[in-house]
Structure 1
Amino acid sequence: MTSFSLVVPLTLLFSNLVSQQVSTYSQQATTASPGDLPAELRARMERDRQLTLEINDLAGRIHSEADASALVDKFAGKFADTLPPSWMTRGIRQRLAHAEYEAVSDPSRLIPEQRIADVWNEYVREIGASDEALVTPAELHNLRDADFAGAQLLWSRGQNIWAVSSIYALSPDGKLAEGCRPIETLRILYDVDMMFDNLRGARERVRRGTLVSEELRKRQENPLPQQKITARLEAHATNNAFRLGVHVDNNPVRLAESRYIQQHGPYILNGVMEKLFDELFPSSD
């Protein structure tokens, strides 16, 4: 089993959440009160909530490699219905659990933001993506700050996997550490690869010298009058064609990956991603 097999499931872990939990729950749960939902959906939502609570608890109290293994197993179990079994073998989970335990027990084993940026930029250059896809440690830190602050805010409004804040490495003062735990690192890779607008937002905040955590703190200290926030799905008619939310993908990473696969084939790209993973999570063998 190659290390690429671990990159795929853990990044897909978050994308599967988008397609399943966000789409299913938001389309059904936001249109009705909990009591009006079908019993099967209510039961599924409660199971997911309980599992998320367990994951958040485990991530915050890792004292042994067995604890780390339990955490990784919970993540794997959450997506057992959507991921092929070969993508979450015992060997793969043990490798991630070992790295997670080392990072929690010894801060020097955290993955530095500079290291993540260097490895990611090497990948960007290899696949021929535009310079826009290159990242700096400051941008990654700002991105992490937004994810962490958002998770803390969302947790009080509903427990879901996106709001698990205990996967983040913190310094003694409660702020984000300069390095990352392995599971958080995979979350970062998902953001810069699949949710590139998040990086664009972080880049703009770096330019302005702001952090989401600071902006939220200021709002809490000086709250604005409560406003009702609503969301709507807009329909567009173009050339007599009806469409919903159609847009052109301008993610430079995804465009480069697609072009790279056309030119070299998927197996070569897999090898490049395997190298990325090995550099971030060296084997202990």
Structure 2
Amino acid sequence: MQEERTPYDYLCVIWNKKIFIIVLTLVCIVIGVIMSLRISRTCNANVFVRIGMGMTTTKPTLLDEPTNMAAIIPIEYSSDIDTGYNIRVVVLKGTPMISIIVEGPEKRKAEELLQKVVEQVIVDHNNLTDEIIESYRVLARGLGGYIEAAGEEIAQFALTEEKIHDNVMSTEALHGLSNSLRSKRVNLMTLQRESEYKMKVNSLRTNRTKMVGSIVAKQVPVTLKKVKLVVASGVIGFSISLFLVCFIDYIKNAGRERCERKRVL
């Protein structure tokens, strides 16, 4: 029976097959070099966009959530991107801002495509903002007319109250009229506060979505990526060659062992 092989035996096998290992490793390295030459340069253009503010019935809010925009923009505006270019969005945590990035082989083209996408995003948000602003403007105009009418009515009450004082009307009638006048004044103050609130909301609507700063385009280094690819190819080739050498040696030894057993029998 053949003795069990030790690690030293495998080292000897590896040394004897060193030419095969070197050749296979070099072949894989050459393949890696060829693949690295196919890696073209990449440029990216990015810009920051601040999302405009809106308003719910209780508090200010964003027109759209940054996370939603990060998911929607690459899909909704992909038709504006040429073949060979891609778009992605990065959310700036803790801020109402996002970074829109367009990547592709040409720097100028990436800038143009990004400009197109950003302008379309701003236009879409501005259309939504304009609709909301107009609705509040209509409401504010209606409140203004009602307040003006209520003011004239209060003035008439004041004049009537003065005449009553001059004519020394009964105390009960004067008391009832004064209460009615005070009630009208309270209603007018409430309407004024509501009108001011609506106007503040209208002012918030002017805080539109806009581009922060300018578009920045740069070339992404690919040298490191190429080096990593070549090194990885060499490591893979060396590992495969070691495995093949050890596996072939194991098969040969197993075959010899079976032959020896047959001879013994």
TM-score by length of 1: 0.16
TM-score by length of 2: 0.17
Could you say which structure has the higher strand fraction? 2
> If you compute each CA radius of gyration, which structure gives the higher value, 1 or 2?
2
**More RCO (CA 8 Å, sep 6+):** 2
